C-alpha cells in the first residue's frame, strides 16, 4: 500500500463499521422553511451488491501447490 490505494473491501469496512464513530454534523439551516424541511433518506448501497456479486475473500488461505513441470516425475 505504498501508493495509497485501497481495495473495495477496505472501503466497505470503513463505510459499514467506522461510520458511526464520528459525530454527525448539525442540521443545515438555510433560512427558508421550505428548504429547511427537505430530508433525504440514506442511499441504499446494497443495490451495487446485487449488480456485481463477486465472492469476497477475507483470508485466501495457503496458495495452491505449484503444478509439476513437464517431464518431472510426480
For the chain, 74 residues long, give each residue's pLDDT as a single digit of tens: 455 667 888 877 777 776 656 666 787 888 999 998 888 898 888 887 777 656 666 776 777 788 877 776 65
Task: Look at the pTM and tell me if it is higher than 0.75.
Answer: no
Residue 66 φ/ψ region, left for φ over 0, alpha for ψ in the -120 to 50 degree band, beta for the rest: beta
The neighbour count for residue 13, using CB atoms within 10 Å, is 13
User: Do the Cβ atoms of 12 and 6 come closer than 8 Å?
Assistant: no
Residue 39 sits at the vertex; the CA angle it makes with 34 and 40, to the nearest 5 degrees, is 135
Amino acid at each position: 500500500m505504498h501508493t495509497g490505494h485501497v481495495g473495495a473491501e477496505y472501503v466497505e469496512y470503513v463505510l459499514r463499521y467506522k461510520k458511526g464513530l464520528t459525530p454527525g454534523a448539525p442540521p443545515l439551516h438555510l433560512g427558508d422553511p421550505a428548504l429547511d424541511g427537505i430530508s433525504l433518506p440514506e442511499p441504499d448501497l446494497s443495490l451495487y451488491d446485487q449488480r456485481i456479486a463477486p465472492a469476497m475473500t477475507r483470508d485466501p488461505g495457503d496458495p495452491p501447490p505449484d503444478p509439476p513441470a513437464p517431464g518431472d516425475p510426480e
